[in-house]
Structure 1
């Protein structure tokens, strides 16, 4: 059986003031009527049913998951008591699924990505699942780059496919590279053998558990103990307390012997900032976007507005500005510096009087 594992534990600091500790990015409806985590499940329709979806989230968000994804089996919602990065997150889900179905395949998906072409996405997943089963390998999805992007990690693939008898070619991963500088990103784009790292993984639960055994035995030991447990809150708590904090990329993928990549082009975006939201929103002829907002743009280009209440927002003579309003806060940020919102959140943490805005 094929299962989806949705990683939904992030706090979304770059999306303040809409994203808060009590209601982070993945539970917001930034695009359309449904939330990002709901869209993540919806785009799998016809490929994976909701009853075969596992969600790993912060323990404080379990009720939100149940509310927004009522078709997901409550026993398939893992509430993390503490943040331990993606490796323990994935190991806990692998233990749960391997206990139920030792031959299971898991597709690991972040809860907060945007995919504009679900049909093409499912076609790539089909090839990835087939590869994971037949090759007993770790599989990831790579995105064909359209520009020299410095905000994504990269995957260097083999020049020739290692599997060419499937509907889509499959390549061997040569190496993973962290976010490059502009000159390196340009070189990667020109080379033709580099892909953006999507952070989407496919493998058999038995294969990923063996990879943990070989590379992070401390997590493997705890995962096997969790697999033999009742998966109570106490069992999950003990697992996370005992695990080191490490990412799946650094802990497993970068040093694994057999990793394949399936290239895809399905209009993917990791939605990492308000700049990405602006890029993905409907815009006027001057690149201005307004979401549920009465906005007037005069001699203004490339702006974004999202406000609360019935009020008119006027932009005059400005470019690349985002104005985001909630009931208790207003953010004004240059979209080219949208990553600085994370620093705003850090500043709010410093002061007891401003903690209430987190």
Structure 2
């Protein structure tokens, strides 16, 4: 696989990952955690693009508090390619900012937009799918979504309903029309989606040419199309961003574009993808004992079952006695003890904490 000279990648790295408190903080969010090995999630995101996108053409968008930390773990990415958004405006303005940055360098470019905090186990296949998607995006002048082949009825993801297969596309991966996007379903509806075989998980990974993106935004969100064109012409990119970005409407790319655009195609991928949405999703990658306790760090347990234990302090031992279905996470300055079934509520807990602990 060879790098394509006009292929660029945007890595969206502005999230805070509050569901991973106390390990994640404002200055050390989910994408800067090494939950699985010595590599952080954002390092994994960049490294799996190797051989497909040159580091000079990778843009990382984050916030001011995280810039230094991201630059430190990504030495192959030029420091000026790690850009702080002046304000949190959700994914649509962030993508428009990146598109303007890319368009100023190559108006004929093709762009991949992907989150910084996902796990992909099959890197080579992931690159192959992205390469096919980029080719289809150029040939069909369409927006390409990467759909993940579901292996269970997950109610926590959005879904993409696939339509007819395109036989006219010369690629090693099947390409389908997109019938519609579905919000997070009930477990019963998710089971129906799985049985039908016509649905993919929405990974939030998109591929398009700059020209296609601007055309579609002109119809559905003209403010963002104008912002891209302004950035493309700007003599002072930083000044335009500083002056204009905060005035953009706060909106996700799903609402701004994907739910309304007409030229959307889907490539389904089997790449060992995981959204890693909270502590329970990490458990399957940790060590597990005969009682179903999963852990990283030093653990002693007696009459305790199905607990998740994650220690960020090497010299500390966590001991469990007669407890079940807990999440226990310790850091140097905080300890979390939560019911495993309440993992989605950790972000509410974070809202109650003093600023120095968030």
On whether the aligned pair clears a TM of 0.5, the verdict is yes
Question: Hey, what does 1:328 align to over in structure 2?
Answer: 333
Aligned partners of 2:204 and 2:125: how far apart in 1?
Answer: 17
Question: Hey, what does 1:257 align to over in structure 2?
Answer: 262
- Answering whether residue 302 of structure 2 is matched by residue 298 of structure 1, we say yes
* RMSD between aligned residues: 1.6
Q: Quick one: which of 125, 129, 137 aligns to 1:124?
A: 129
Question: Hey, what does 1:140 align to over in structure 2?
Answer: 145
CA deviation after TM superposition for structure 1 residue 70, in Å: 1.7
Deviations 1:31-84 (A, max 9, x none): 210111111101112222322211111122222222111221233222101000
Question: Hey, what does 2:243 align to over in structure 1?
Answer: 238
1:26 touches 1:112 (CA, 8 Å); kept in 2?
yes
Deviations 1:159-178 (A, max 9, x none): 43455531011000100011
Q: Quick one: which of 94, 102, 107 aligns to 2:107?
A: 102
CA deviation after TM superposition for structure 1 residue 122, in Å: 1.4
Question: Hey, what does 1:58 align to over in structure 2?
Answer: 63
Aligned partners of 1:299 and 1:124: how far apart in 2?
Answer: 46
Aligned partners of 1:311 and 1:55: how far apart in 2?
Answer: 35
Question: Hey, what does 1:202 align to over in structure 2?
Answer: 207
Aligned partners of 2:325 and 2:128: how far apart in 1?
Answer: 36
CA deviation after TM superposition for structure 1 residue 22, in Å: 1.7
Aligned partners of 2:220 and 2:204: how far apart in 1?
Answer: 19
TM-score scaled by length of structure 1: 0.94
CA deviation after TM superposition for structure 1 residue 94, in Å: 0.6
- In structure 1, list runs of 5 or more residues that go unmatched: 349-353
Question: Hey, what does 2:357 align to over in structure 1?
Answer: 357
Aligned partners of 1:334 and 1:153: how far apart in 2?
Answer: 25
Question: Hey, what does 1:84 align to over in structure 2?
Answer: 89
Count how many residue pairs are aligned between Structure 1 and Structure 2.
Answer: 352
CA deviation after TM superposition for structure 1 residue 336, in Å: 2.5
SS across alignment from 2:288: coil
Aligned partners of 2:287 and 2:135: how far apart in 1?
Answer: 36
Q: Structure 1 stretch 55-64 or stretch 188-197: which is displaced more?
A: 55-64
- In structure 2, list runs of 5 or more residues that go unmatched: 1-5
